[in-house]
């Protein structure tokens, strides 16, 4: 592996190696999970604190994620504010549980930060505003159920995390065969208080009106 295979900022493996890892795992009778991790409202963080501070936070997030995956599992920087983990030795429930743990740990680490404004668009073009500290959201997809190609699996995980962000972020979205998804609050389950602290499951229809970023 050469320096060109590493992300220059975080030192993590890059997206090219993520695809190579997928190719190594994929095949007959294979099953593995992809966790896609996205920083919520990162554009607003950069606007407020500046890109230098944003880079520092990306490095911190990369380190926290790396500390919370099993030994021997690689973490990849798959985009500007996106990270990815491929897991081929855990069952589905274990992959989702790991995603929730990553989400909870990262969000708890930055919970002390002052809330920042984030905005969401509605289909009628109205604009809403929410305030939260720096958080991440995760999308989880499985091979082969959610995609048999790298592009399809990555897209499924990406769609899950985008929909899961809803208004606040800080949640885990689970893609299910591209037809159904559930969303598991990890950091700010305020609207799930009636569940007695048990993470509530939301269906895709709960989020269909929102386009948050």
> Could you read off the pLDDT of 115-168 as tens digits, one per residue?
998 887 788 989 888 898 999 999 999 999 999 999 999 999 999 998 777 667
Asked if pLDDT for residue 77 goes beyond 80, the answer is yes
Q: What percent of the chain has pLDDT over 90?
A: 63
* Tokens describing residue 139: 């999308």
Q: Give the lowest-confidence range in 44-48, 169-173, 185-189.
A: 185-189
The pLDDT of residue 166 is 66
The pLDDT of residue 61 is 98
What is the Cα–Cα distance from 172 to 149, expressed in whole angstroms? 22
Identify the band that residue 199 occupies on the pLDDT scale cut at 50, 70 and 90. Answer: very low
Q: Please state the domain extents for the chain.
A: 3-212
Per the CB < 8 A criterion, the answer to whether 175 and 159 are in contact is: yes
Mean confidence (pLDDT) of the chain: 83
What is the Cα–Cα distance from 171 to 183, expressed in whole angstroms? 7
Q: Give which of 155, 152, 147 is closest to 79, Cα–Cα.
A: 155
Q: Is the peptide bond before 102 cis (omega within 30 degrees of 0)?
A: no
Asked if pLDDT for residue 81 goes beyond 50, the answer is yes
The pLDDT of residue 211 is 35
Phi and psi (nearest 5°) for 151?
Answer: -65, -45
Per the CB < 8 A criterion, the answer to whether 184 and 174 are in contact is: yes
The pLDDT of residue 130 is 87
Domain 3-212 falls in which CATH fold? Alpha-Beta Plaits (3.30.70)
Q: In the predicted model, what is the mean pLDDT of residues 179-198?
A: 40
The pLDDT of residue 177 is 61
Asked if pLDDT for residue 185 goes beyond 80, the answer is no
The pLDDT of residue 1 is 64
188/33: higher pLDDT: 33
């Amino acid at each position: 592996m050469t320096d060109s295979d590493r992300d220059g900022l975080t030192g993590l493996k890059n997206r090219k190696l993520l695809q190579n890892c997928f190719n190594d795992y994929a095949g007959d009778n294979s099953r593995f999970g992809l966790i896609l991790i996205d920083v919520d409202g990162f554009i607003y963080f950069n606007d407020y604190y500046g890109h230098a501070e944003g880079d520092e936070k990306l490095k911190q997030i990369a380190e926290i994620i790396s500390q919370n995956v099993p030994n021997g599992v690689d973490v990849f920087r798959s985009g500007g504010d996106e990270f990815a983990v491929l897991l081929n030795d855990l069952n589905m429930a274990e992959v989702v549980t790991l995603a929730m743990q990553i989400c909870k740990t990262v969000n708890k680490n930055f919970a002390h930060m002052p809330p920042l404004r984030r905005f969401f668009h509605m289909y009628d073009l109205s604009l809403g505003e929410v305030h939260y500290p720096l958080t991440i959201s995760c999308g989880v997809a499985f091979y082969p159920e959610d995609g048999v190609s790298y592009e399809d699996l990555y897209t499924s995980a990406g769609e899950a995390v985008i929909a899961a962000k809803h208004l606040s972020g800080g949640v885990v979205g689970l893609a299910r065969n591209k037809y159904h998804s559930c969303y598991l609050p990890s950091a700010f389950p305020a609207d799930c208080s009636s569940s007695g602290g048990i993470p509530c499951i939301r269906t895709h229809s709960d989020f269909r009106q929102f386009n948050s970023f």
